[in-house]
């Protein structure tokens, strides 16, 4: 029955349409000796652009074919709990990797990057600060409570005076399962504002602009990753995780706007 | 009685494989959620909100589909005109569209910055991130299921029946309502069941176009996805409810068809 559940979980992952095959390995397959090893990486949706860019280069270096799966970190963690065959888990917080580690599902997690939590609005928006969200009729889109971006949002809102918090929460129109859902609603004009990471705003090529929050309101956003227990490619997985702090993928993350590990 | 040869054995084997493949996952849902879990999960506010929203939006969307789709299907089944094949293909197109494409397409068409967004806004209608948007998404993805089936049902009706009603002086509208629809009813019902099932299960287009907010746009499939990460048991229980509702719809249609079949006409 456990197997059936794992299948269900895997099916859900596929149904969510988050898988994207970034066939690393390098084009010149004839040159190398053995066939590239398949490495499955489950990563937070916010890292989609950065990791998609660096996975082929990593694959070439390590003779691996990197299969990337992006979704809300919480969904990915749930898949790993349901024994999805994943080698690396990279989350948009440290809480989920720590929880999986405590449950003996993940090796010791490493902190590999930081991100900035911002308010995102369309580039021609009149909203200038978080105070602009209190106006009735403003369509605000946030992450659902279980996904890291949603929990950072709730942490931030909790620091506001109750009246202001209430006014802002009354404008929430959707609780999205991952950060890309928020960005999509904003770029397509379906929403007026949303809380995302600055790297997501950078990835929209100017369609959105980021409004920074005061230091008092801004949550500490640290990304954690680890090797999934039971991975048959633990060595390669470890190499990928290490590469998130130093190497091609670290460079790609930096280029996308991620900060270095704390 | 024929002696079962190798071909018969192959057929039986394939059926056994198909049956196992299709029923084990559904059985697993029930094996993992006790009736107590089921009831306690239904007790959660979010679950009842999601169920009620799913039922309401599905009912409205099915009503729209029946009202508009039935005459449209009748026209397509009984008239021939230039470009008919193209029209039929266009009507059926959402059948093969991935739900995510349907969601993007709806945003691009009637979203706030879509090509018709201004007109929708000017009319004072709010679709994206609103309950009405869920109805639009459900109607878009599930209406082809009904129209397709309804066309087949109308096309299968013996034309002489309608001609007879015409010679007896009935107008075409009267013949359509009093003769064709009753005779085609089993086919229409099965088309409705397909559309209903598709609408109840709709996920991607709803999430992209209408978003996910408890009591407003979070239908049962969205609530299941929302829980999958935090509360797998609750997601299973809600899935079990959806399976039960869908099975009840299917059985009800079989029952209707069974009754009508006694009249000598069987759908499909």
Helix, strand, coil shares, percent, chain A, to 5: 40, 25, 35
| Residue A32 pLDDT exceeds 60 | no
Q: Which residue of A has its CA nearest to B130?
A: A173
Task: Scan for tokens 């969200």, then name that residue.
Answer: A133
CB B150 within 8 A of CB B194: no
Under a CB-based contact definition with an 8 Å cutoff, are residues A120 and A183 in contact?
A: yes
**CA of B227 vs chain A CAs: smallest distance (Å):** 9
Q: What is the pTM of this model?
A: 0.78
**A21/A52: higher pLDDT:** A52
Going by pLDDT thresholds of 50, 70 and 90, the confidence category of residue A7 is very low
Comparison of pLDDT for B255 and B262, the residue scoring more: B255
The closest alpha carbon to A121, from A184, A185, A194, belongs to A194
Decide if A198 contacts A163 (C-beta within 8 A).
no
- Interface size, chain A vs chain B, as Cβ–Cβ contacts under 8 Å: 92
- pLDDT tens, B154-173? 999 888 887 888 888 888 88
Mean pLDDT on B48-73 = 96
> What's the mean per-residue pLDDT of chain A?
87
Which segment of B51-60, B193-202, B221-230 scores lowest on mean pLDDT? B221-230
Give the residue among A82, A152, A181, A151 at the shortest CA–CA distance from B129. Answer: A181
Distance, in Å, from the CA atom of B216 to the CA atom of B49, rounded to the nearest integer, reads: 9
Instruction: Note the pLDDT tens digit of each residue in A164-218.
Output: 999 999 999 999 999 999 999 999 889 999 999 999 999 999 999 999 999 999 9
Residues of B in contact with A188 (CB under 8 A): 104, 107-108, 111, 113
CA distance A236 to A87: 9
User: Do the chains contact at B129 and A181, CB–CB below 8 Å?
Assistant: no
* A129-151 tens-digit pLDDT: 999 999 999 999 999 998 999 99
- Which pLDDT belongs to residue A24? 40
* A4 contacts B128? CB cut-off 8 A: no
Q: How far is B74 from chain A (nearest CA, A)?
A: 35
What residues of chain A lie within 8 A of the CB of B232, using their CB?
A: 78, 81-82
B116 touches chain A (CB under 8 A): no
pLDDT digits 0-9 by tens, B128-151: 899 999 999 999 999 999 999 999
* pLDDT tens for each residue of A73-117: 999 999 999 889 999 999 999 999 999 999 999 999 999 999 999
């Amino acid at each position: 029955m456990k197997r059936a559940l794992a299948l269900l979980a895997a099916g859900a992952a596929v149904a969510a349409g988050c898988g994207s095959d970034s066939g690393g390995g390098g084009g010149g397959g004839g040159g190398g000796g053995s066939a590239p090893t398949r490495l499955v990486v489950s990563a937070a949706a916010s890292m989609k652009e950065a990791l998609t860019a660096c996975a082929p280069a990593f694959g070439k270096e390590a003779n691996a074919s990197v299969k990337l799966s992006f979704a809300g970190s919480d969904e990915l963690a749930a898949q790993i709990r349901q024994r999805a065959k994943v080698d690396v888990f990279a989350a948009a917080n440290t809480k989920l990797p720590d929880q999986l580690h405590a449950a003996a599902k993940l090796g010791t997690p490493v902190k590999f990057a930081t991100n900035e939590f911002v308010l995102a609005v369309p580039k021609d928006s009149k909203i200038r600060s978080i105070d602009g969200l209190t106006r009735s009729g403003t369509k605000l889109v946030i992450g659902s409570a279980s996904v890291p971006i949603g929990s950072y949002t709730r942490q931030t809102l909790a620091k506001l005076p109750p009246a202001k918090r209430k006014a802002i929460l009354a404008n929430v129109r959707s609780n999205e399962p991952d950060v890309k859902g928020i960005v999509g609603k904003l770029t397509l004009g379906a929403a007026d504002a949303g809380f995302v990471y600055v790297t997501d705003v950078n990835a929209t090529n100017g369609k959105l602009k980021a409004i920074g929050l005061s230091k008092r309101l801004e949550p500490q956003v640290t990304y954690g990753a680890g090797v999934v227990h039971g991975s048959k490619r633990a060595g390669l997985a470890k190499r990928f995780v290490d590469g998130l702090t130093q190497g091609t993928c670290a460079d790609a993350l930096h280029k996308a706007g991620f900060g270095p590990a704390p | 009685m024929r002696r079962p040869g190798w071909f018969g054995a192959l057929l039986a084997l394939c059926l056994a494989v198909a049956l196992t493949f299709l029923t084990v996952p559904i059985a697993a849902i029930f094996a993992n959620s006790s009736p107590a879990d089921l009831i306690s999960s239904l007790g959660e506010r979010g679950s009842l909100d999601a169920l009620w929203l799913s039922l309401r939006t599905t009912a409205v969307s099915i009503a729209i589909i029946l009202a508009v789709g039935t005459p449209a299907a009748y026209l397509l089944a009984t008239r021939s005109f230039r470009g008919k094949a193209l029209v039929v293909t266009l009507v059926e197109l959402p059948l093969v569209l991935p739900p995510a494409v349907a969601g993007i397409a709806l945003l691009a068409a009637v979203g706030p910055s879509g090509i018709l967004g201004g007109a929708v806004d000017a009319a004072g209608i709010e679709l994206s991130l609103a309950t009405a948007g869920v109805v639009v998404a459900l109607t878009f993805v599930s209406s082809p299921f009904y129209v397709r089936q309804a066309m087949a049902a109308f096309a299968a009706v013996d034309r002489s029946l309608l001609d007879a009603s015409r010679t007896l002086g009935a107008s075409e509208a009267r013949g359509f309502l009093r003769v064709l629809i009753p005779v085609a009813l089993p086919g229409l019902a099965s088309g409705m069941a397909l559309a209903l099932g598709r609408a109840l299960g709709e996920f991607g287009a709803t999430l992209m176009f209408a978003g996910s907010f408890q009591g407003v746009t979070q239908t049962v499939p969205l609530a299941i996805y929302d829980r999958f990460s935090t509360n797998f048991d609750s997601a299973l229980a809600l899935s079990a409810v959806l399976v039960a509702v869908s099975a009840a719809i299917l059985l009800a249609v079989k029952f209707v068809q069974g009754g009508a079949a006694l009249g000598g006409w069987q759908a499909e």
